[in-house]
Amino acid sequence: MAIRKIFILAFILSLLVGCAGVPAIEAVNVDTNLPVGRIDGNQFIGIRFPFNVSGPPGWKVTTEFPPFMEELGYDKAGLEESQVFIFNPSTQSNLQVDLTPAGRYTKFSQESIEWLTTAAMGSFQEELEEDYGKEVKAEIGLTTPFHLKGVQYAAKKYATYTLKGIKREQGWIYGFSEPYQIFILYMILEKKGSNDREEILKILDSFEVITKK
């Protein structure tokens, strides 16, 4: 499913609105020679980008996407953009994080972040039907503000649907912490005896953008 592509298209539209005058965001140079980060136990510590995030016990933290994520419908090119993946090997519930520099002339606010997060929904239902058939219907959740440590603005959107007898929750959080925009995508596969929804919330609670003193 092309969630990342929809995000980018919506973001380009926002650039067209805010591209005049003095730059609103400081320039940032990303050193691609640096490793994306290091993993200490179950914690990812960012090096190329300034953020940390931790996985709960029993979950895996890695900088390379697990192959099963393509089977769940994620596009390989989009997965390759993310810096870290956290997943439950037993249920395949997962979360990925991608930080990238924001456009220098773009002005962000909580309102614009929520609009962009909603725009990411795009043709989600249509894509579901194309991939899995018209009998698969999604229930779309409301767009809500979301708190992430060290992040100025963030919002969350999600959809739930059932596929092959397993209920899925597929969500995305879009945020801005100058000078970066933040993409967090997650998928919860509800399986008997698991508490993956609570664990995903713990992962999100551990996420933090580290600001320079």
Residue 22 has pLDDT above 60, yes or no: no
pTM above 0.75, yes or no: yes
Write the DSSP symbol of residue 55: P
Identify the CATH number of the domain in which residue 103 sits.
3.40.1000.10
The tally of CA atoms less than 13 A away on the side-chain side of residue 173 is 25
Write out the DSSP string of 150-171: T-SEEEEEEEEEEETTEEEEEE
pLDDT at 30: 87
Enclosing domain of residue 163: 3-209
- Number of domains within the chain: 1
What pLDDT score does 88 carry? 98
For residues 87 and 8, the model is more confident at: 87
